[in-house]
Chains A and B, each alone.
Chain A
Amino acid sequence: MIAIVLAGVGLGVGTFGFRFAGASLKSRMTLSARTQHLLTASSVVLLVALVGTSTLLDGGSFAGWARPAGVAVGGLLAWRKAPFVVVVLAAAAVAAGLRLLGVR
């Protein structure tokens, strides 16, 4: 159990290290508009990649149809400029509803 606690605290320290290192480096630099664009774009790329993997995959294999269908409906609504609350609730409701109907 001691090993698990130490590993857990280590994960916290390491994660904080990533967060703090990035933010501190940023606060020390004066950036050109182009570099700032690149850094902002890197977060956008990572977050969209995360949207892709967390929509389609579950532990390395296909997550089933209900979840991507929910995210697709949410994405469509967001694109049509629906309010955020509607987007999120629709995504959850479509996924939950499809599962209720037996779609996996």
Chain B
Amino acid sequence: MRSLWQTVRARLGRKLARDIALVCLADGIVGLSFGAITVAAGLPIWLPMLLSVVVFAGASQFMFVALVAAGGNPLAALAAGLLVNARHLPFGLAIGDVLGSGLLRRIVGSHLMIDESVAFALSQKDSDRRRAAYWACGIALFACWNLGVVAGAFGGRAISNTDAFGLDAAFPAVLLALILPSLRDRAVRLAALVGAVIAVALSPLLPAGLGVLLSLAALPLAMIGRFGPTPQEATVTGDEPARAAP
């Protein structure tokens, strides 16, 4: 285990490895609460574990459990969860190349695609580091999330309110910190801000997840200044994240 950690650290660099470890710790605690809340709601002890392995997307898992625990129709819970997770399709389109080639890598890498691993990949500039960040974050989070869920399911109600630790503020802060460098591009920043306003304004009125998807209506704004021939941009390579606009 120690040598594995050292290999990862050598590949990623000390700072990135530490950042990923911190996110894993925070998500592991959220996993604890997911396990505890699910069992406390009267659902079987194996259900949170099954969901965490096969779905591996926290927000949709919490929602699924809340709906079925309240006696809702499982099909409605399935539909609601799928709507929340539909954003993974554009995520795959954006960072799919970091998974590498080969069917097995694509299958495993796809399953490790979550908000955090995508944000870590986007936060890195060169493609080797993006790949290392994506895989390290995905694998480590899969392990921590599932370990947390198992511990929470057995541990009962020990940690069911993670808000007391401020972990609900940690998740947006993690994403914000990782995505901030991409917002240096003015057009992307404008699109993201308008998109966020759309999402926040519409989410209370719509089924969960739809408001976030509708933020994509602001996407054309990200192309401001990129229509027509722009010789300077011809040097920007395909796999780099957004850069400062000229």
Contacts and interface: CB of A to CB of B under 8 A. Distances in A.
A42 to B, nearest CB: 5
Size range of the chain A interface in the assembly: 35 or more
- Chain B interface mostly: helix
A19 B164 CA distance: 33
B174 to A, nearest CB: 6
A57 B202 CA distance: 11
B81 A42 contact: no
Contacts of A50: 87, 115, 172, 175, 199, 212
Contacts of A36: 238-239
Interface in A82-104: 83-85, 87-97, 99
Contact of B173 (A12, A21, A22, A91): A91
A51 B196 contact: yes
User: Interface size bucket, B side?
Assistant: 35 or more
A59 to B, nearest CB: 8
A13 to B, nearest CB: 8
Judged by DSSP, the binding face of A is: helix
Given A39-B94, A42-B93, A60-B208, A11 B82 contact: yes
Nearest to A13: B54
Nearest to A3: B74
Interface of B: 15, 18-19, 22-23, 26, 43-44, 47, 50-51, 53-57, 59-60, 64, 68, 74-75, 77-78, 81-82, 85-97, 99, 101, 106-107, 109-111, 113, 115, 118-119, 122, 163-180, 182-183, 185, 187-188, 191-193, 195-200, 203-204, 208, 211-213, 215-216, 218-219, 222-223, 226, 233-234, 236-239, 241-242
**Lowest 9 CB-CB distances: which A-B pairs, in order?**
A22-B92, A26-B96, A12-B54, A70-B169, A74-B173, A49-B215, A91-B173, A92-B166, A23-B96
9 contacts: A4-B47, A18-B92, A38-B222, A40-B95, A49-B215, A78-B180, A85-B18, A92-B166, A92-B167
